[in-house]
């Protein structure tokens, strides 16, 4: 039911783990089935230099987590914000319709991580 | 790569001995059992023989056995058949919250058609308390339906006790024995049941055939109208090869039950102990003793079921899961929910169901490949021991 790309990212997920002293951390929970994704980003000069994830979820959730970390690396914050769950799913050669909601997890975790980064930045600037 | 099939609760391979008995029915004695000439009579005789075998296997009379297309149809027939034939007496039906969907969805349908359904709770092992059944009975109750053994967690229900209570009250009692045949003793009189559903492909028979036991004197409505087949209760030209296969399969299942159960229990316990001893944060779902000899259902904390299932499949092990992610409704298993298993624990559930061809090497293999899979997925998981799961 999954594409070869999904299975590849599921079997060999890229960028698993935590980043020490991250510049942003985002957590997203999936209201549909109850899964959780945590995304860490390291930012330098407005550019995402590194991204890592931890996911509790199905094959599609793990594969989309892995893919989104690959996609954001090297992107500016503005570019990263434009990554939609559909784009992640497409990069994986598609997901079964019932699994599309899992890719929403990736988009939301990424946005949460960027929000966290922006908040930290504002706080720092105000200090 | 080794292939280890551990999903026998889903279906079993058809026994070659069963296939052998079925084959002539396709090509030689292919006659319609309703016809009078020789090959028709042969087919009719084959059905009669199969009916006798099913009856003997469950302690019933031959005329009390109706052949159907499987467990789902048998459950539908039992519930709808009794409900619509007895509604002038009352429109109340009692069942449990851990039944198979064949029963639960039929109850939903009946509820839409004016029947009132009581879904009894279960304890943490999935057991329906017979006293709860007694308390739920009203003067409008016409039918009680509780399964003999649970397909997900393997818990065996105290059907004989429940049956006794239901009988005293003069109400019909149906049990879904689909998982029980060939695993534990099934006798309609010992169990005090009026109706009992079974399905051939769960005990090494073919798919697409099952039976419903209907105690003599039970007021039933026909589910399928047409010709005179199956005492007019289930019309349509009989699935002769399937029925013959069912007959052979149930004969084998019952005659080999003791021997197989012993072997399965040994292997199941080896698997259970091997997993509980070698992997942390695991729990066994279902009753520790009152469980089917072939069922081991675990929850591995901090990991999700589908990802375990896929990883096991990659190393040749076929299992199933009660995780929300594996169901097409994206809801966790209703059985685990009824047992009050927390949702995130239900999420990490995996069911292993062994079969007659499962070997000790198969179990050793699972015990070898499983721990690294759990480890890998836990390393990937944001959840940890002692962590608040309600993010
Ligand atoms: S995370 Fe639950 S279905 Fe994908």
Same domain, B93 and B105: yes
* Distance of CA B278 from the midpoint of ligand 1 (Å): 27
| Residue B388, domain member (yes or no) | no
| Segment B245-261 mean pLDDT | 98
Using DSSP, state whether B116 is helix, strand or coil. Answer: strand
CATH of the domain at B71: 3.40.640.10
Same domain, B128 and B171: yes
Least CB-CB distance to B343: which of A34, A54, A57? A34
A8 CB within 8 Å of a chain B CB: no
Domain of B98, in residue numbers = 16-255
User: B201, B221, B255: which is the final residue of a domain?
Assistant: B255
Q: Average per-residue pLDDT in chain B? A: 95
Number of independent structural domains in chain B = 2
User: What DSSP character marks residue B230?
Assistant: G
| Residue B299, domain member (yes or no) | yes
Tokens 């159960």 label which residue? B261
| Residue B387, domain member (yes or no) | no
Same domain, B167 and B55: yes
Are A42 and A32 in contact, with CB atoms under 8 Å apart?
A: no
Q: In this structure, what are the phi and psi dihedrals at residue B74, rounded to the nearest 5 degrees?
A: -60, -45
User: B203, B228, B255: which is the final residue of a domain?
Assistant: B255
Tokens 């969907």 label which residue? B101
How many residues comprise chain A?
A: 127
* Whether the predicted pLDDT of B387 surpasses 80: no
Nearest CA of chain B to the CA of A16: how many Å? 6
Quote ipTM for the complex.
0.91
User: B209, B236, B255: which is the final residue of a domain?
Assistant: B255
Same domain, B225 and B314: no
pLDDT single digits (tens) B334-358? 999 999 999 888 999 999 999 999 9
Same domain, B205 and B262: no
Same domain, B234 and B309: no
Using DSSP, state whether B168 is helix, strand or coil. Answer: helix
Same domain, B146 and B204: yes
Same domain, B295 and B169: no
If one counts every other C-beta atom within 10 angstroms of the C-beta of residue B319, the result is 22
B332 CB within 8 Å of a chain A CB: yes
Q: What is the pLDDT of residue B343?
A: 86
| Residue B234, domain member (yes or no) | yes
In chain B, % helix, strand, coil (3-state, to 5) comes to: 45, 15, 40
Tokens 């002769």 label which residue? B240
A56 CB within 8 Å of a chain B CB: yes
* Whether the predicted pLDDT of A13 surpasses 90: yes
Which residues from chain B sit within 8 angstroms of residue A52, using beta carbons? none
Which band of pLDDT confidence, cut at 50, 70 and 90, is reported for residue B390? very low
Containing A70, the helix (H) or strand (E) segment is helix A59-72
Same domain, B208 and B306: no
Same domain, B208 and B302: no
Using DSSP, state whether B327 is helix, strand or coil. Answer: coil
pLDDT single digits (tens) A34-72? 789 999 999 999 999 999 999 999 999 999 999 999 999
B344 CB within 8 Å of a chain A CB: yes
| Residue B385, domain member (yes or no) | no
Pairing of strands B210-214, B65-68: antiparallel
Q: Can you list the alpha helix ranges (DSSP code H) found in chain B?
A: 16-27, 38-58, 71-86, 101-112, 130-136, 159-168, 240-255, 257-278, 305-314, 334-338, 343-346, 360-380
B107 a catalytic residue: no
| Residue B368, domain member (yes or no) | yes
pLDDT single digits (tens) A69-127? 999 999 999 999 999 999 999 999 999 999 999 999 999 999 999 999 999 999 888 87
Which residues contact residue B52 at a Cβ distance below 8 angstroms, ignoring those fewer than 6 apart?
A: B62, B247
As a whole number of angstroms, the distance between CA A70 and CA A44 comes to: 17
Q: Calculate what percentage of chain B has a pLDDT beyond 70.
A: 98
Least CB-CB distance to B325: which of A29, A36, A57? A57
For B373, which residue in chain A has the nearest alpha carbon?
A11
Same domain, B226 and B374: no
Say if ligand 1 is within 6 A of residue A6 CB.
no
Which band of pLDDT confidence, cut at 50, 70 and 90, is reported for residue B325? confident
CATH of the domain at B267: 3.90.1150.10
| Residue B162, domain member (yes or no) | yes
For B331, which residue in chain A has the nearest alpha carbon?
A33
User: What DSSP character marks residue B1?
Assistant: -
Q: What is the pLDDT of residue B385?
A: 59
Pairing of strands B317-318, B65-68: unpaired
Pairing of strands A47-56, A36-44: antiparallel
**Angle (nearest 5°) at CA B200 between B339 and B268:** 50
B302 CB within 8 Å of a chain A CB: yes
- CA separation, residue B103 to residues A14, B83, B128, B144, B260 (Å): 44, 13, 15, 11, 28
Are B183 and B292 in contact, with CB atoms under 8 Å apart?
A: yes
User: Does B325 sit within 8 Å of A33, measured CB to CB?
Assistant: yes
Classify residue B6 as exposed, middle or buried by CB count within 10 Å of its CB (0-12, 13-18, 19+). Answer: buried
* Whether the predicted pLDDT of B391 surpasses 60: no
* Whether the predicted pLDDT of B54 surpasses 50: yes
User: Does B381 sit within 8 Å of A62, measured CB to CB?
Assistant: no
Mutate to test the interface with B, among A14, A40, A59, A95 (most CBs of B within 10 A): A59
| Residue B156, domain member (yes or no) | yes
Least CB-CB distance to A54: which of B304, B323, B382? B382
User: Does A38 sit within 8 Å of B382, measured CB to CB?
Assistant: yes
Q: Average per-residue pLDDT in chain A? A: 93
* Distance of CA B234 from the midpoint of ligand 1 (Å): 41
Same domain, B241 and B305: no
Tokens 């006659």 label which residue? B31
């Amino acid at each position: 039911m999954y594409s070869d790309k999904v299975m590849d990212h599921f079997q060999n997920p890229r960028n698993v783990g935590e980043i020490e002293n991250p510049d942003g951390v985002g957590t997203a929970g999936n209201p549909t089935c109850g899964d959780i994704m945590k995304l860490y980003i390291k930012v330098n000069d407005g550019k995402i230099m590194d991204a890592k994830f931890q996911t509790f979820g199905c094959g599609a959730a793990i594969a989309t987590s892995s893919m989104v970390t690959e996609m954001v690396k090297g992107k500016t914050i503005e570019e990263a914000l434009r990554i939609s769950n559909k784009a992640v799913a497409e990069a994986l050669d598609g997901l079964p319709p019932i699994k599309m909601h899992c890719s929403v997890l990736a988009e939301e975790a990424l946005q949460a991580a960027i929000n966290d980064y922006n908040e930290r930045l504002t706080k720092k600037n105000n200090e | 790569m080794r292939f280890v099939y551990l999903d026998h609760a889903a279906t079993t391979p058809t026994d070659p001995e069963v296939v052998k008995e079925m084959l002539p029915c396709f090509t030689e004695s292919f006659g319609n059992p309703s016809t009078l000439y020789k090959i028709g009579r042969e087919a009719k005789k084959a059905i009669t023989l199969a009916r006798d075998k099913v009856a003997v296997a469950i302690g019933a009379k031959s005329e009390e056995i109706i052949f159907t297309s499987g467990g789902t149809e048998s459950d539908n027939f039992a519930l709808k058949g009794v409900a619509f034939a007895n509604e002038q007496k009352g429109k109340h039906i009692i069942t449990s919250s851990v039944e198979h969907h064949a029963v639960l969805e039929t109850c939903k349908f009946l509820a839409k058609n004016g029947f009132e359904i009581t879904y009894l709770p279960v304890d943490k092992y999935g057991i329906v308390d017979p006293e709860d059944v007694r308390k739920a009975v009203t003067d409008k109750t016409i039918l009680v339906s509780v399964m003999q053994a649970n397909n997900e967690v393997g818990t065996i229900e105290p059907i004989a006790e429940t049956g006794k209570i239901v009988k005293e009250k003069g109400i019909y009692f149906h049990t879904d024995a689909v998982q029980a045949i060939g695993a534990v003793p099934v006798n309609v009189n010992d169990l005090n049941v009026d109706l009992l559903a079974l399905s051939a492909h769960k005990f090494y028979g073919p798919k697409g055939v099952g039976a419903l036991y209907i105690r003599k004197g039970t007021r039933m409505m026909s589910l399928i109208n047409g010709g005179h087949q199956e005492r007019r209760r289930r019309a349509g030209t009989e699935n002769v090869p399937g029925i013959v296969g069912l007959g052979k399969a149930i004969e084998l299942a019952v005659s080999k039950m003791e021997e197989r159960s012993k072997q399965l229990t040994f292997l199941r316990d080896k698997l259970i102990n091997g997993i509980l001893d070698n992997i942390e944060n695991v729990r066994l779902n279902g009753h520790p003793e009152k469980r089917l000899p072939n069922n081991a259902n675990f929850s591995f904390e901090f990991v999700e079921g589908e990802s375990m299932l896929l990883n096991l499949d990659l190393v040749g092990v076929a299992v199933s899961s009660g995780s929300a992610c594996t169901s097409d409704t994206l809801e966790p298993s209703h059985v685990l929910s009824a047992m009050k298993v927390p949702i995130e624990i239900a999420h990490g559930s995996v069911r292993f169901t062994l079969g007659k061809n499962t070997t000790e090497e198969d179990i050793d293999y699972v015990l070898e490949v499983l721990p690294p899979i759990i480890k890998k997925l836990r390393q990937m998981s944001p959840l940890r021991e002692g962590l608040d799961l309600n993010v």
